[in-house]
């Protein structure tokens, strides 16, 4: 039986999930794969706080570089997060030819182009299943099950924290901040949680899905991003009364060769499957030209679900190392093949929900019409207008004349 020695950098929520998962099921993994995973070293600046699990003496260290440099260590799991020291450590490991498994979506979204190249040059891999969708093997599906498809669209609920907040706001009517504090206690949220609630974490994950779909490192700057920070309970209950739920939805569409990417709080019909994705669950809907519609669902955040994805990558990286695969398919798929054209934020076509705060509804409808936006429903009792599809730039112009109005995207999945 071959053993692989793993060096873990970062002993936070995800690091603990990985160690706990290997302690529980390592023998099973060995039985299934012929490779026994051994956590040889764990580096963290804090090696004294009780994490609720026990590791053998000598495993914990505060010196991450010594773990990377250790000849006995076969694989590195970068579970620190952030884009500074994590980048330095990852580059160092890759330059030493060591495969790196990571859950770090921010790092890949911001420095992926550089990191994938360094991995390829050093004939090694970066494995990043845990960076998108927590425990859902969505990237595995993209690079194996869907490899024969051109990707037409991807819809994703990709942030466990936001989905947890939105679910509890709707079902329990609790204030935003109270639920966010619970999400932090449960280990779902980033530190600080601004990346979650401002939609940036979802945008990071969106670039990774799109990079794999279109074969280029998609820059974060092309994702039109809005978060849920300003969302009020009133919008959630108005949406409910109209037959919708509000989800922080990532949308990727290939429209005749131009790729449209956005993240924003969106009304989805209660009859659509996205509406049933609750709590910290994530879901990704991928439409391929051959396969048609597919859906992937599971826990999008948390220690053991994310640990499960990291473990899957560790076992795959170990197998690739044994088979001398070099840079794996997950790297080839992310490297630039041809230039991709992106749709400007203002050119994205969408329907919207607009709650008029000042002035009457007829006047508001006239203003919208002036900007080329047709209405689909005018709800007098709640001062709401649902629109037909129009360009984002038209909505932006119209909103300047609709003082104080609240606007959200509405997606019918047509």
Least separation, in Å, of the C-beta of 232 and ligand HSE? 21
**DSSP state, 36?**
E
Least separation, in Å, of the C-beta of 300 and ligand HSE? 5
Nearer to ligand HSE, 127 or 188 (CB): 188
Nearer to ligand HSE, 159 or 262 (CB): 159
3-state secondary structure 290-310: CCEEEEEEEECCCHHHHHHHH
Segment 179 to 198, residues that bind ligand HSE, using CB under 6 A: 188-190, 196
Least separation, in Å, of the C-beta of 124 and ligand HSE? 24
According to DSSP, the residues that pair with 268 across neighbouring strands are 245
Q: Does 262 bind ligand HSE (CB under 6 A)?
A: no
Number of H helices, E strands in the chain: 14, 18
Least separation, in Å, of the C-beta of 176 and ligand HSE? 15
Least separation, in Å, of the C-beta of 106 and ligand HSE? 10
Catalytic residue among 205, 226, 253, 350: 205
For residue 205, indicate whether it is catalytic: yes
Task: Return left, alpha or beta for 17; rule: phi > 0 is left, psi -120 to 50 is alpha, else beta.
Answer: alpha
Q: Which of 268, 296, 299, 265 shows the shortest CA–CA distance to 281?
A: 299
Q: How far is CA 103 from CA 239, 271, 316, in A?
A: 34, 33, 15
The span from the CA of 337 to the CA of 366, in Å, is: 47
**DSSP state, 398?**
H
The span from the CA of 54 to the CA of 58, in Å, is: 12
Figure out which of the listed residues 17, 112, 134, 227 binds ligand HSE, where binding follows CB under 6 A.
134
- With CB under 6 A, what is the number of residues at the site for ligand HSE? 11
The span from the CA of 110 to the CA of 263, in Å, is: 17
Nearer to ligand HSE, 189 or 356 (CB): 189
Contact 335, 116 (CB under 8 A): yes
Figure out which of the listed residues 120, 122, 142, 159 binds ligand HSE, where binding follows CB under 6 A.
159
- How far from chain centre, in Å, is Cα 290? 25
Q: What is the DSSP string of 232-289?
A: -HHHHHHHHHTTEEEEEEEEEEEETTEEEEEEEEEEEETTSGGGG--TTEEEEEEEET
Q: Is the dihedral of CA 381, 387, 391, 397 positive or negative?
A: negative
Nearer to ligand HSE, 17 or 99 (CB): 17
Q: Does 300 bind ligand HSE (CB under 6 A)?
A: yes
The span from the CA of 75 to the CA of 279, in Å, is: 33
Least separation, in Å, of the C-beta of 49 and ligand HSE? 20
Q: Does 18 bind ligand HSE (CB under 6 A)?
A: no
Provide the mask over 301-320, with x wherever binding to ligand HSE is found by CB under 6 A and - wherever it is not: x-------------------
Figure out which of the listed residues 10, 160, 217, 265 binds ligand HSE, where binding follows CB under 6 A.
160
Nearer to ligand HSE, 155 or 342 (CB): 155
Least separation, in Å, of the C-beta of 236 and ligand HSE? 19
- Residue 134: phi, psi to the nearest 5? 55, -120
Nearer to ligand HSE, 185 or 324 (CB): 185
**DSSP state, 347?**
G
Q: Does 201 bind ligand HSE (CB under 6 A)?
A: yes
Nearer to ligand HSE, 160 or 288 (CB): 160
The closest residue (CB) to ligand HSE is 161
Least separation, in Å, of the C-beta of 160 and ligand HSE? 4
Nearer to ligand HSE, 37 or 135 (CB): 135
The catalytic residues are 205
Site for ligand HSE, rule CB under 6 A: 134, 159-161, 188-190, 196, 201, 300-301
């Amino acid at each position: 039986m071959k053993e692989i020695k793993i060096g873990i950098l970062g002993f936070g929520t995800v690091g603990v999930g990985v160690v706990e998962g290997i302690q529980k099921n390592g023998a099973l993994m060995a039985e299934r794969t012929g490779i026994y995973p051994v956590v040889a070293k764990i580096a963290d600046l804090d090696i004294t706080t009780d994490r609720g699990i026990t590791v053998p003496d000598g495993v914990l260290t505060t010196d991450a570089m010594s773990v990377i440099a250790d000849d006995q260590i076969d694989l590195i799991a970068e579970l620190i997060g952030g884009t500074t020291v994590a980048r330095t450590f990852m580059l160092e490991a890759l330059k030493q030819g060591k495969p790196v498994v990571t859950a770090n979506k921010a790092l890949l979204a911001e420095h992926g182009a550089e990191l994938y190249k360094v991995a390829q040059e050093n004939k090694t891999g970066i494995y990043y299943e845990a960076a998108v969708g927590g425990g859902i093997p969505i990237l595995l599906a993209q690079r194996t099950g869907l490899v024969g498809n051109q990707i037409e669209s991807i819809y994703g609920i990709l942030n466990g924290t936001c989905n947890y907040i939105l679910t509890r706001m709707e079902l329990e009517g609790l204030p935003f901040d109270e639920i966010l504090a619970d999400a932090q206690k449960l280990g779902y949220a980033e530190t600080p949680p601004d990346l979650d609630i401002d939609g940036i974490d979802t945008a990071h994950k969106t670039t990774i899905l799109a990079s794999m779909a279109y074969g280029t490192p998609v820059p974060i700057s092309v994702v039109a991003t809005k978060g849920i920070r300003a969302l009020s309970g009133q919008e959630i209950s108005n949406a409910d009364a109209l037959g919708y739920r509000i989800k922080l939805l990532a949308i990727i569409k290939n429209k005749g060769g131009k790729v449209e990417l956005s993240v924003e709080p969106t009304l989805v019909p209660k009859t659509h499957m996205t509406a049933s994705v609750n709590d910290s669950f994530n879901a990704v809907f991928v439409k391929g030209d051959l396969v048609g519609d597919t859906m992937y669902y599971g826990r999008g955040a948390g220690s053991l679900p994310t640990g499960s994805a990291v473990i899957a990558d560790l076992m795959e990286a170990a197998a690739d190392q044994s088979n001398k695969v070099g840079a794996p398919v997950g790297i080839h798929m992310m490297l630039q093949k041809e230039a991709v054209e992106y749709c400007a934020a203002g050119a994205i076509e969408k329907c919207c929900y607009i709650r008029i705060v000042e002035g009457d509804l007829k006047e508001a409808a006239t203003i919208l019409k002036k900007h080329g936006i047709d209405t689909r429903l005018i709800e007098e009792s709640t001062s709401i207008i649902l629109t037909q599809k129009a360009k984002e730039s038209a909505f932006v112009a119209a909103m300047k004349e609709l003082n104080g109005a609240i606007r959200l995207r509405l997606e019918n999945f047509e």
